[in-house]
Amino acid sequence: MGIFKTEVETPEHIQYWESLKPEEEDTSNHPFHKFTKIDHKWTTPFLEMNAMLPEKMRKDLCKVLEAKELNMADIEKKEPEFHSMAKAKGFYATTHYNLFDEKDMNEFPNEKESILAFEQIACQQIRYYIRYGWGIQQADDMTIEGRCFGNVQQDSSVGGTRTYPHYHQDINGVLVTYLKMGDDDIDIADQIKVGQKQSARNGTHQVLFQDPRPAISYPYWEKVYSVSPRVGLTIIHPNYVWHETNPWLGIGTR
C-alpha cells in the first residue's frame, strides 16, 4: 500500500480573511463628534445626534410630509378595504412613496431644494454611523440606497396614535429625524403632560427599542432602551431591532 497526500485548495473566503491586515485605530476628528453620541446597547450601536435643520428646510419637509399624508383621503375613496388595512397597520407611507425618488420629489417643486439638501445631510449622518458605529473606515466609499417617508401622528383623542412594534427584514439601518413635536408655540414640557390622566403609563411619548437577544432571564428593565423625542433629534439603529413608539397624546402633530 502506498502513502499519498491529497492537496486541498483553501476555500476562497478563508484565503480572503487570512490576507486581511489589522486596520490602524481610527483617530480622526469628525465634526459630528461635537453633537453626536454612539452607545452600544446590548450588542447594538445606537446613534443619537442633536442637529437642528435650517428652519426653512424643516418647515418645507413638514409641509411635504403632511401633504403626502392627506393623499390617504384619495386612497380611502378608491380602495376602501386597502385603506382600512393600511391605516390599521400604519404602513401606508412605507409602501407608497419615496421622497428621495425623482417622481415623488417633483410633486413639490417649491420644496425640492430642501428635500435634496436633507438627502445630503442624511447621507452624511449614515456614513458617520457606518464608520464609527460599525467600524467601517471606508464608509465614504460606499454606495447608499434608501427610502424616505414621513410618519405623521396626530392625537386621536382616544389613546393617541403610535407606531406599533415591528422590525425590518434585512441587515441595513433606520434613520429617524424628528421635525415637529406638536404645536410649535407650546413648550414640549407642557405638551407631554397632555393625556397623562387617560394614559399615565405613556410617559414622555418615548420611542422604544427591544433587546434582540433571546435572553429571557436577563433583567427585564434592561431589555428596553427608550429615547425621549425632541425636535432636531436624529436616531440611527440597525433594521433588525424591534422598535415602536408610545402613543402621541400631545397637542398638534408629531
Block residue for cell numbers 425636535? 231
Tell me which of 221 and 61 has the higher pLDDT: 61
- Please, what are the domains in the chain? 33-245 (2.60.120)
**Nearest-angstrom CA–CA distance, 174 and 167:** 10
* Residue 34, amino acid: K
Query: Mind listing the pLDDT tens digit for each residue in 155-182?
Result: 655 556 788 888 888 778 999 999 998 7
Tell me the pTM: 0.81
Q: How many CA atoms lie within 13 A of 123 on its CB side?
A: 14
pLDDT for 88 equals 66
Tell me which of 193 and 68 has the higher pLDDT: 68
The x, y and z cell numbers of residue 42, run together, are: 446590548
The x, y and z cell numbers of residue 237, run together, are: 439603529
Query: Mind listing the pLDDT tens digit for each residue in 185-232?
Result: 677 666 666 656 655 555 567 888 988 777 666 777 778 888 988 899
Chain mean pLDDT for the chain: 82
Q: How many CA atoms lie within 13 A of 37 on its CB side?
A: 4
pLDDT for 51 equals 87
